[in-house]
A and B are shown apart, each in its own frame.
Chain A
Amino acid sequence: MGPCERCKKAQATFHLTNIDTTGSPSERHLCDQCAIQEGYVQQQTPAFASEVLETFISGAKGKAAEIANLVCEECGMTYAEFRNRGQLGCPNDYEVFKDALVPLLERAHDPQRTHHVGKTCGAPETQRQSHDELRRVKRQLADAIAAEDYERAARLRDRIQELERE
C-alpha cells in the first residue's frame, strides 16, 4: 500500500492495470480524488444519492401498501389476496385494480398491446370484423416485408386493397 503516484500525498486506493494494444501491462495507483480527476471514476455525491433512494423507497412502499390494500366493494377481494391466489374475485376487480393490473398484463401478454382486439360480446359485427382483419393484415404485411418474404407481402397487399374497397 503506497502513496498516490499523482499527488504523492494521500494513500492510493485505486489500482488499475492497463493492457495496451501491444499486450504489455502498465499499472496505475491513485488516491480517490486523483482517480476522479483523471476521469477513472465518477464523482460521488453520497448525501444526495441516498436522499433520492430513500424518497424512492418510502414512496414506493407507500404506493405498494396503497395498492395491496385496494379492495373491491362487490366481492371483497383485496389486491394482495389476488396476488396470492393468482385469480380475481369478480369482473369488477378489473376496474378496481386497473392501474396495478396493466403492468401485469403487459408482462403476461404483449407489452405493446393491452387493449382488447377481436370478438366482442354479443352478435358478431361484420364491420368490426373487417376492421380487425385490416389491422391484422397490415401488421402481417410489415412482418413479411421485414422478413423479406415478398411473395407473401404481395398477397397481403392485395388483401388490404380488397378490404379497403369494401
Chain B
Amino acid sequence: MSDRMDEVARQSGEWLRGGGPMHDIVISTRIRLARNVSGYAFLTRADEAARTEIANAILGAIRKAGPLGSLVDIDVEQLDELDRSLLVERHLISKQHAEGHGARRVAFDSDEVTSLMINEEDHLRIQVMRCGLQLEAAWEQINAIDDAIGQRIDYAFHPRFGFLTACPTNVGTGIRVSVMLHLPALRLTRELEKVGAAARELKLAIRGLYGEGTEALGDFFQVSNQITLGRSELEILDDFKDDIIPKIAAYEQLARRRLVEDRAFALDDKIYRAMGLLRSARLMSSNEAMQCLSHVRMGLHVGRLKDIDLQTVNELFLQTQPAHLQKLQGERLNGEQRSIARASLIRARLSRN
C-alpha cells in the first residue's frame, strides 16, 4: 500500500502536465457525478455491514466494466493520515472522504483522470479530471463510465427528481462541474469582482474568491455549478463552455495585456522578485511558495520569463504541498522542517542549469 502511495507522490496526473485548451488560464476541468445504489439506505442510515456491501457491489461492477477493471482500488480506511492528505492534495479524494469514518474506498487510474470515491457522502462519486478546458471530453468520458457502471448496478432514481442523492442540493443530474482557473492578473489589477458578478448571474459558485484564508493560495479559483435539478447535463456544461469561462478568460487576458503594455516594470518586478525568492529563500511557507509560483507561471505565459520549464512550475505547485513534501522527503516533518525542505526542493528544481 505504502509503496503504491510513494509512487503516487512521485508521479503527476494528466491534469497537472500543463497542457490542454486554454491552459494559460484554465488549469483543469473536473466533472463529478453523484450516484447511490438502489435498495440501500443513504450513508446517514447505513451501518458498517451495509457500507461494506455497497462498496463490494460497486467494486464488483467496476471490475466487470471493461476498461475500469484496471483502476487501482485503495482502502481509504487503512491509509494513514499522511497518505490520505496526499490523495486530497492530488484531488483524487475530497477532504470529507479523507476525514470520514467507516468502510470507504477510492479507485483511480494511473493517469489520475478517473477517480471513483466509494462511500463518501453518496455511495458513489465518479470523477473525471482533465487538463485545460475540456468540458466535452470530460463529459463523454464520465458519461461512458456512468453507463458502464449503471448497466451492472441499479442506481436510485426517481422519474421526477432524477438521480437521488443524500443531500437534495445534488439531486437530479447529480453533476458537479468545476473549472479551476489561474487569474493572477485580475488579482493584481483588483478586478476579481468582475468574475464574481459573472458567476452570480449564472448561479455558479466560486471558491477561493472571498473565503477567509483562501486569498493567498496562488490566485487559483474554482468555478462550479450549484443547480443540478431541472437542467440537463449538457445545459449545465453549456453555461461554462459558452458563457462563463470564455468571459472570465477574456477578462484575464485583457488584464494581462494591460499589465504588459502599461505597467511592464511593475509586472516584471513581481515576476522577478518571485523568481528571486524561489531561487534564494532558505525557509518558505506553502502560501508563499504558491504566490511566488503563481507569478512565475504568469510570467511564462505572458512571455516575460523564458528559461523556466512550465511543467516544472506546475509540478511544484503540488510537490510543495505539505503531504507531498513529506512523501518526497520520505519522513514526517514539522512546520519549520517543511519550510526548509520546501525551499530546498524549489531551489533544486529551479536552478539555472
Q: Could you list which residues of chain A lie within 8 angstroms of chain B, going by C-beta atoms?
A: 74-77, 85-91, 94-95, 101, 104-105, 108-110, 112-124, 132-133, 135-136, 139-140
Question: What 1/0 flags go to B207-243 for Cβ under 8 Å of A?
Answer: 0000000000000000000111111111100100000
Provide the bound-state CA to CA distance between A120 and B150, in Å: 10
Q: What's the A-B contact tally at a CB cutoff of 8 Å?
A: 126
- Is there an interface contact between A87 and B161, defined as CB atoms closer than 8 Å? no
B window 274-305: CB within 8 A of A: none
Among B165-173, B258-266, B314-322, the one that faces the other chain is B165-173
- Is there an interface contact between A116 and B168, defined as CB atoms closer than 8 Å? no
Chain A interface mostly: loop
Q: Contact check: which of B146, B154, B160 meets A116 at CB < 8 Å?
A: B160
B window 53-98: CB within 8 A of A: none
Q: Could you list which residues of chain B lie within 8 angstroms of chain A, going by C-beta atoms?
A: 36, 38, 40-42, 44-45, 121, 143, 146-147, 150-151, 154-164, 166-169, 171-173, 175, 203, 226-235, 238
**Which residue of A90, A94, A116, A120 has the most chain B CB atoms within 10 A of its CB atom?**
A116
Query: Separation in Å of the B94 CB from the closest CB of chain A?
Result: 15
Query: Separation in Å of the A145 CB from the closest CB of chain B?
Result: 15
Chain B interface mostly: loop
- Is there an interface contact between A133 and B234, defined as CB atoms closer than 8 Å? yes
Q: Contact check: which of A77, A113, A123, A139 meets B229 at CB < 8 Å?
A: A113
Known A115-B160, A136-B238: A87·B230 in contact at CB below 8 Å = no
Residues from chain A with Cβ under 8 Å of B169 in the complex: 108-109
**Which residue of B44, B121, B156 has the most chain A CB atoms within 10 A of its CB atom?**
B44
Provide the bound-state CA to CA distance between A133 and B232, in Å: 9
- Is there an interface contact between A117 and B156, defined as CB atoms closer than 8 Å? no
- Is there an interface contact between A110 and B167, defined as CB atoms closer than 8 Å? no
- Is there an interface contact between A116 and B158, defined as CB atoms closer than 8 Å? yes
Query: Separation in Å of the B201 CB from the closest CB of chain A?
Result: 12
- Is there an interface contact between B121 and A110, defined as CB atoms closer than 8 Å? no
